[in-house]
Amino acid sequence: MSNAFLFDLSTIEPEIGAPAADRLISGSPEFRTWNLEEADGGVYAGVWEATPGKWRIVYDEWEYFSVLSGHSIVTEEGGEAVHLKAGDRMVLRPGFKGTWEVVETTRKDYVIRL
């Protein structure tokens, strides 16, 4: 087994999901998640995509991500809206609360640590 691999989405089927009904603010967004790596210690890496809509988010985990395509707006409670487009990167720390709004279908790659 190799200790390196490419993010090849053609090798797995994405998990399909959506925000919980009690978190949905607008639209009917759908998620597709390709979780490509699950390592010891609660570390995950993969690609996530969402269609337009808006929902509340609460982070118990730490996440780094890079936006690959689309346009989203992430707003922390009491904070300013941050518009994210291809090439933008962000870290969300445990305790982050706010909203995620997908304006244009957004795809990101991510690394999550529980």
The model's pLDDT over 27-63, given as tens digits with 9 standing for 90+, comes to 999 999 999 999 999 999 999 999 999 999 999 999 9
Find out if CATH 3.40.50.360 is the number for domain 38-113: no
pLDDT at 5 over 90: no
The residues near 35 (Cβ < 8 Å, ≥ 6 apart) are 15, 44, 45, 46
**Contact (CB, 8 A) for 95 and 77:** no
CA distance 71 to 53: 11
Judge whether 95 and 79 are in contact, CB under 8 Å.
Answer: no
CA atoms of 48 and 79, how far apart (whole Å) = 24
- Tell me, what's the pLDDT at 81? 98
Residue 87 pLDDT > 90, yes or no? yes
Distance, CA of 74 to CA of 34 (rounded, Å): 21
